[in-house]
Amino acid sequence: MNGEKKLIKKFFHEYFKKNKKLIKYPDEIERREFGFTFYQKPGMYRHISFNSLKELTEFLEWNTPINSHYSSAFFKNPAEREMEKKGWIGAEIVFDIDADHLSIPKDAFSFTWKCNKCGESGFGRKEKCSSCGSYSTSLVFWPNTKNLREAKKEAEKVLFNFLMEDFGLNEKDLLVNFSGQRGYHIHLKKKSFYKLKQKERREILDYLKGVGWKYDLWFRKRGEVVYGPGVFDPGWKGIIARSYSELLSRKEKLTELEISKRKIEEMREKSSLIKNNLQEKPAIWSNESFKLTKKEIGKIVESLLRKNRCSIDETVALDLKKLIRIPNTLHGKTGFQVKTVQIEDLDMFNPLKEAVLETDESVKIKTGIIPEIDLKGEKIGPYKFEEVEVPLSTAVLFILKGEAKLSEPRN
Ligand SMILES: [Zn+2]
C-alpha cells in the first residue's frame, strides 16, 4: 500500500470510528440499498443492505469507503441485484442543488486542467492542451466560497420560498445536507410523498422551476385598468409581484426586464406608484397613470419567472431509486463532511469552515497545480509544484484531487 493510500484510509477510518453517533440516517435502514466506492478501486459496490445502523457504522469503520450512498427508495429486498426483484415500496424526493448547474459565470469557478496525453497541467479551464495540442484534457473542480454561497442561496430559495411556504412543510419533514463538494441535498421526508411516481414528481419539479404557467390567466382587464398578481398573493403570483416590487427599488437592475429604455425610465419615475398599486387588492399593474401593454407585462413576468425559478438537478429529483450520499459521511473527492445542517443554521453555515475536519496533525506534501482556496478561514495556495506543509485535512483534499503526494514515506 502506498503512503497516500495509507493516509487516506487512516483519515476515513479515524473519522468513522470517532463519529458513529453522527450517522443517524437513513431511517428504515433495512429497506434501503447501499453503494460504496473505495480509494483507488474502480466502480461502485452496490446492492448491499444492512439490518441496523450499528451494522452500517461498523462497516464504515472497517471498510473505510470514500463515498457512501443509500437509496432514496425503500425496497422489500434491497440487496437483490435486479430491480424487479427488489420490490419498490416508495422513495423520498431528493432535491440536488449543485453549483455547477447554477448560472454563475463559469470563470467564477475554480478549475485546474490536466492533459490526458502529455500530462501538462495548469490553472483554469482548458479544452485544448497548450503543450501538445491534444483535446483530451480533464478538469479538476475546486470548491470555492463564491460558488458555494450561490448554491446555498439556491437551497434557501427552494426551502423558504417553496417547500416551507407553498407546500407547508416544516423542519421535521426536511433534511438538508451539504453535499460535500459543491452543493446541497434537500431530502423531503414526508411519508405522503413517498408513493409519488415520476409524473407527480415532475409536477412538483415544474412548480419549483416555474414551468408551464399560463400567466395570461393571472391578468384581467376592466376598462383602462389591468389587474394582476399582488404582493400578498400566495405561491408564484405573490413571488412575481414581490419580485417586481423589489426590482423597482434596485434601479440599476431594471434592465433585466428586457423592455424598452423609455419604459424603464418611466418605471423609475413612477416606481412608488407602481409599488403602491401592487399592494392593492386586487393589485393594479396598469392604469391611466401608468400604462403597460400586454406584451410588456409578458416580458416582465417572463423575466421574473426566470429570475425566481429553482435550479435543481432534474434527474436526481425524478429518479425513483437514486443512490444519494449518507448524511455525515465523508466525500471522496474532498474529504469534507457531507454535513447535515439545521435549517435555522443554514444562513450562517459556511461549508469551507464547518464541513472541513479539524485536524491537529500537519503533513509535508509535494503539490501539483492547486488554486487558492479558503479553508477554515485561511487562504491556502495557490501552489504550482511546490513542497509545503499543510494541515492533514488540506493534504487529504489535495491527494483526493490527485494533485499532491507525500514528501516523505509515513508509517
Ligand atoms: Zn498535452
- Look at residue 184 in the predicted model and tell me its pLDDT: 96
The alpha carbon of 370 and the centre of ligand 1 are apart by a number of angstroms equal to 18
Query: DSSP characters for 285-328?
Result: EE-SSS---HHHHHHHHHHHHHHH-----HHHHH-TT-EEEPTT
CA distances from 62 to 12, 32, 66, 334 (A): 10, 20, 12, 20
The alpha carbon of 121 and the centre of ligand 1 are apart by a number of angstroms equal to 8
The alpha carbon of 134 and the centre of ligand 1 are apart by a number of angstroms equal to 5
- Look at residue 299 in the predicted model and tell me its pLDDT: 93
The alpha carbon of 116 and the centre of ligand 1 are apart by a number of angstroms equal to 7
| Three-state DSSP state, 42 | coil
Class at the top of the CATH hierarchy for domain 358-411: alpha beta
List of residues 6+ apart from 352 with CB closer than 8 A: 143, 144, 145, 148, 373, 374, 375, 376
- Look at residue 1 in the predicted model and tell me its pLDDT: 78
List of residues 6+ apart from 223 with CB closer than 8 A: none
The alpha carbon of 120 and the centre of ligand 1 are apart by a number of angstroms equal to 5
Residue 33 has phi, psi (to 5 degrees) of -95, 145
The alpha carbon of 181 and the centre of ligand 1 are apart by a number of angstroms equal to 27
The alpha carbon of 126 and the centre of ligand 1 are apart by a number of angstroms equal to 11
The alpha carbon of 344 and the centre of ligand 1 are apart by a number of angstroms equal to 48
* Residue 336 near residue 355, CB atoms below 8 Å: yes
Please choose, from the candidates 34, 36, 53, 54, the residue with its C-alpha nearest in 3D space to the C-alpha of residue 45.
36
List of residues 6+ apart from 71 with CB closer than 8 A: 32, 33, 34, 78, 91, 321, 322, 323, 324
The alpha carbon of 371 and the centre of ligand 1 are apart by a number of angstroms equal to 20
The alpha carbon of 56 and the centre of ligand 1 are apart by a number of angstroms equal to 43
First to last CA, the chain: 11
- Look at residue 321 in the predicted model and tell me its pLDDT: 85
The alpha carbon of 114 and the centre of ligand 1 are apart by a number of angstroms equal to 8
Residue 137 has phi, psi (to 5 degrees) of -120, 150
282: preceding bond cis by omega (within 30 degrees): yes
The alpha carbon of 141 and the centre of ligand 1 are apart by a number of angstroms equal to 19
The alpha carbon of 117 and the centre of ligand 1 are apart by a number of angstroms equal to 5
CA distances from 92 to 14, 176, 234, 361, 371 (A): 31, 13, 26, 39, 37
The alpha carbon of 123 and the centre of ligand 1 are apart by a number of angstroms equal to 14
The alpha carbon of 363 and the centre of ligand 1 are apart by a number of angstroms equal to 30
Cell of 105: 459565470
CA distances from 332 to 54, 59, 181 (A): 22, 16, 9
The alpha carbon of 401 and the centre of ligand 1 are apart by a number of angstroms equal to 19
Question: Identical fold at 3-100+173-203+314-344 and 358-411?
Answer: no
- Look at residue 125 in the predicted model and tell me its pLDDT: 86
- Look at residue 287 in the predicted model and tell me its pLDDT: 94
Please choose, from the candidates 188, 302, 326, 300, the residue with its C-alpha nearest in 3D space to the C-alpha of residue 248.
300
The alpha carbon of 369 and the centre of ligand 1 are apart by a number of angstroms equal to 15
Boundaries of every domain in the chain: 3-100+173-203+314-344, 110-142, 215-308, 358-411
Cell of 324: 444519494
The alpha carbon of 135 and the centre of ligand 1 are apart by a number of angstroms equal to 8
The alpha carbon of 386 and the centre of ligand 1 are apart by a number of angstroms equal to 21
Any idea which residue has 487512516 for its cell?
10
List of residues 6+ apart from 32 with CB closer than 8 A: 26, 49, 50, 70, 71, 73, 74, 75, 78
The alpha carbon of 129 and the centre of ligand 1 are apart by a number of angstroms equal to 5
Burial class of 295 by CB neighbour count within 10 A (0 to 12, 13 to 18, 19+): exposed
**Domain 3-100+173-203+314-344 belongs to what topology?**
DNA primase, PRIM domain (3.90.920)
Cβ of 110: how many Cβ atoms within 10 Å? 22
The alpha carbon of 212 and the centre of ligand 1 are apart by a number of angstroms equal to 46
Distance from C-alpha of 273 to C-alpha of 269, rounded to nearest angstrom: 9
The alpha carbon of 128 and the centre of ligand 1 are apart by a number of angstroms equal to 8
- Look at residue 304 in the predicted model and tell me its pLDDT: 92
List of residues 6+ apart from 272 with CB closer than 8 A: none
* Per-residue pLDDT in tens (0 to 9) along the chain, 411 residues: 799 999 999 999 999 999 999 999 899 999 999 999 999 999 999 999 999 999 999 999 999 999 999 999 999 999 999 989 999 999 999 999 987 777 666 555 688 999 999 999 999 888 899 999 999 999 898 998 888 999 999 999 999 999 999 999 999 999 999 999 989 999 999 999 999 999 999 999 999 999 989 999 999 999 999 999 999 999 999 999 999 999 888 766 777 788 888 888 898 899 999 999 999 989 999 999 999 999 999 999 999 999 899 988 888 888 888 999 999 999 999 999 999 999 999 999 999 999 999 999 999 999 999 999 999 999 999 999 999 999 999 999 999 999 999 998 765
143: preceding bond cis by omega (within 30 degrees): no
* Residue 344 near residue 191, CB atoms below 8 Å: no
Burial class of 103 by CB neighbour count within 10 A (0 to 12, 13 to 18, 19+): exposed
CA distances from 237 to 96, 224, 310, 366 (A): 25, 22, 15, 56
The alpha carbon of 136 and the centre of ligand 1 are apart by a number of angstroms equal to 8
* Residue 176 near residue 186, CB atoms below 8 Å: yes
The alpha carbon of 122 and the centre of ligand 1 are apart by a number of angstroms equal to 11
The alpha carbon of 112 and the centre of ligand 1 are apart by a number of angstroms equal to 14
Pairing of strands 67-71, 88-91: unpaired
The one-letter amino acid code at 235 reads: G
Please choose, from the candidates 301, 393, 290, 378, the residue with its C-alpha nearest in 3D space to the C-alpha of residue 8.
393
The alpha carbon of 113 and the centre of ligand 1 are apart by a number of angstroms equal to 10
The alpha carbon of 8 and the centre of ligand 1 are apart by a number of angstroms equal to 29
Cell of 58: 461498523
